């Protein structure tokens, strides 16, 4: 069994659409997240640590936003499942 077959067995089309939508929203929200945390980084004294933190934040802001949105969506889906006859 190849990887593509295994992935299609794990996820249905609805889950692929949800994941793609969350990544799109995360990509759109990424500049807003950077604007929120940029003042916090600028308050730190100028040092290698500040540059390192800024570099790390630039690298993880998109995955972090996607992860947060994914957690929110998962919570919403689980609450919908509990309150109705939905099956995930």
- Region 10-28: mean pLDDT is 71
Residue 63 CA neighbour count, 13 Å, CB half:
5
Q: Is the pLDDT of residue 52 over 70?
A: yes
- The DSSP output letter for 81 is H
- The span from the CA of 80 to the CA of 43, in Å, is 42
- Region 10-26: mean pLDDT is 70
Would residue 5 count as lying in a domain? Answer: no
Would residue 64 count as lying in a domain? Answer: yes
Higher-confidence residue of 47 and 2: namely: 47
> What is the band of 25 on the pLDDT scale with cuts at 50, 70, 90?
confident
Q: Which residue has the tokens 């099956």?
A: 87
Give the domain range for residue 64.
Answer: 50-80
Would residue 55 count as lying in a domain? Answer: yes
pLDDT value of residue 6:
59
Would residue 70 count as lying in a domain? Answer: yes
- Region 54-82: mean pLDDT is 73
Q: Number of folded domains in the chain?
A: 1
């Amino acid at each position: 069994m190849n990887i593509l077959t295994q992935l299609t067995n794990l996820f249905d089309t609805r889950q692929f659409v949800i994941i793609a939508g969350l990544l799109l929203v995360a990509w759109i929200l990424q500049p807003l997240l950077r604007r929120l945390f940029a003042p916090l980084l600028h308050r730190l004294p100028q040092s290698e640590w500040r540059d390192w933190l800024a570099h790390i934040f630039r690298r993880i802001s998109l995955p972090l936003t996607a992860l947060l949105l994914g957690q929110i969506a998962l919570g919403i889906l689980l609450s919908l499942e509990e309150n109705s006859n939905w099956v995930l």
